[in-house]
Structure 1
Amino acid sequence: MINKQAINELSELESERLYFRKIGPQDAEDIYSLRSQETTMRYMDSKYHQSLKDSEAFIQDNLSIQTKGEGMFFAIIEKESGAFVGDFVFWKIDDRHHRADIGYMLKPDFWGKGFMQETMKTLLAYAFDEVGIHSIEANVNPENGNSSRALLKIGFEKEAYFKENYYFEGKYLDSEIFSLLERNFIR
């Protein structure tokens, strides 16, 4: 059974270099700067945020999902500088099957520094140990090799490759599906 209390009462987690906290309205400008750029959105199948209002609505939608116990949406904060590094989300948390999907994004200034590995190790451990998740899925654009490599490093396995799996802005996109069982998680 999924521990919804662990989802709803979560305040803050930390790793060696990072803090992770529930995303909130105070993060709208950072979410906008992250989700309004081609550099960070090029592998996504969602629209760029056109305004701060888009980011505010995005945050509210995700907080609503978290309140229902169906997701967790984290701000990733660098301890040393206090800078917003990116976001990480568990969504489609399934109480019956003890599974969830993940999504994540980092600001380009923080790429290549091991922050996503550190984030995944901390947040996936929380999902497995406290929330009661058994399996996690990630859906990745095949052109995003960095994301695929990050998943493989902590034990995810590539399960499938779907051709033309999504229709977005006038074209079909392929997707790779990765999964991780709790017992295969490299801590």
Structure 2
Amino acid sequence: MATTIQTKRLTLRTVTEADLAAFTLMANNPQVALPAGFHPVKSAFEADFLMRQMLHQRWLWGIVQTETDLLIGTIGLYGRTGKAGLAVHGERDIGYMLNEDFWGQGYMSEAVQAVLAFGFSKGLRVIHGSYFKDNERSARIFIKNGFQFDHQIMHAQSDFFAPGKTELFYQLTQADFMIATTPID
């Protein structure tokens, strides 16, 4: 169960079975699913299966408009695995998706800032993230929050995941986050 996080307009909370219809709207939309790193679901069964993978993850939240109690997205801090296949402690990957109807309204920036603050308050040293080169919205979120470019890869045309796409990888240390989010007087 995820710890509930409250922001100005959002409640970040555990995803529940009652969220299935709203989750399915996002998960079967190629504009949302592909940039989030998965193929759009083709059936209610697939959406239910994907959502159930999320239900009991500790640091995965549904993004809910507080005013309407509507699930509009998901965001999570996912465990990292090192080269030897072992968990990397003190580091996580951030991943998110947002219903297309809510793009351009600052909701994801608000959720990302809250989740980054939460992660660093729990002792994380580094939070990693990636996005595809053509995803300008995620690029702005990463830059705004102080993420630093690490490397990029070009997925092979034969890859199941993102064939032929360039993926940019970033990382954010707690110190860089504090600098990026400290108000200037």
Normalised to the residue count of structure 1, the TM-score between the two structures is 0.83
Moved more, 34-43 or 103-112: 34-43
Cα RMSD, aligned residues only: 2.1
Aligned equivalent of 1:63: 55
Name 1:115's counterpart in structure 2: 107
CA deviation profile, 1:139-170 (whole Å, cap 9, x unmatched): 21111011111111011111111122681379
Misfit runs of 4+, over 2 Å:
41-45, 93-97, 168-173
- 2:124 corresponds in structure 1 to 133
Cα distance per residue 1:78-102 (max 9 Å; x no partner): 1122222211011125664300011
Q: Is the 8 A contact 2:79 2:92 kept in 1?
A: yes
Deviations 1:107-147 (A, max 9, x none): 112111111111011111111103x2111111211110111
Aligned ranges 1:32-111 → 2 under 5 Å: 32-64=24-56, 66=57, 72-93=59-80, 96-111=88-103
Matches within 5 A, 1:140-159: 140-159=131-150
Number of residue equivalences: 173
| 8 Å Cα contact 1:72/1:90 also seen in 2 | yes
Q: TM-score scaled by structure 2?
A: 0.84
Distance 1:134 1:50, change over 3 A: same
Contact 2:38-2:161 at 8 Å conserved across structures: no
Unpaired runs of 5+ in structure 1? Answer: 1-7
Question: Any stretches of 5+ residues in structure 2 without a counterpart?
Answer: 82-86
1:58-92 residue CA offsets vs partner (Å, 9 max, x unmatched): 1222235x2xxxx5211101112222221101112
Question: How has the CA–CA distance of structure 1 residues 162 and 112 changed in structure 2, closer, same or farther, with 3 Å as cutoff?
Answer: same
**Percent identity of the aligned residues?**
22
* Equivalent residues of 1:43, 1:143 under 8 A apart: no
